[in-house]
Amino acid sequence: MSEIALYGIANCDTVRKARRSLDAAGVAYRFVDVRKDGLAADRLRGWVEAVGWETLVNRRGTTWRQLSEADREGVDAERAIALLLEHPALMKRPVVEQDNAITVGWTPETASRWGAA
């Protein structure tokens, strides 16, 4: 099994829950704090291609609501990538990668996929 990479923000409750779950299950992973470490545009583009920008952008969160109306209108894949690069907290969290598999969010179903049920 190859390395699991968990992308999120350290103080996000869902990310904390995911990390606790992985730790409790003894699953090794690498944590990337997207606010501190940033994200590469190519990685975001790959995620958007894999799951769609609609899945990746958290349009229910505070960061989305704080964007100007102009920024929220007419979002497409390229605009979503630009917004995520500018506002990493806009990302639905966590994003978990392993090999070519990507999961967005943390639920009991996704936890079991990564061995942390």
pTM: 0.91
Whether 23 and 109 have beta carbons less than 8 Å apart is answered as no
Q: Which residues are tagged catalytic?
A: 12
Q: What confidence category does residue 1 fall into, taking pLDDT thresholds of 50, 70 and 90?
A: low
> What pLDDT digit, counting tens, does each position of 12-38 carry?
999 999 999 999 989 999 999 999 999
**pLDDT single digits (tens) 58-108:** 999 999 999 999 999 999 999 999 999 999 999 999 999 988 889 999 987
Q: Which distant-in-sequence residues (6+ apart) come within 8 Å of 24 by Cβ?
A: 116
Q: Which one, of 52, 32, 10, lies nearest residue 96 by Cα? A: 32
Pairwise pLDDT comparison (112 vs 46), residue with the higher score: 46
User: What is the pLDDT averaged over residues 50-59?
Assistant: 96
Structure tokens at 29: 């992973």
- Alpha-carbon gap, residue 89 to 34, rounded angstroms: 8
pLDDT value at position 117? 64
Ramachandran angles phi, psi of 45, nearest 5°: -60, -40
Q: How far apart are CA 117 and CA 115, in angstroms?
A: 6
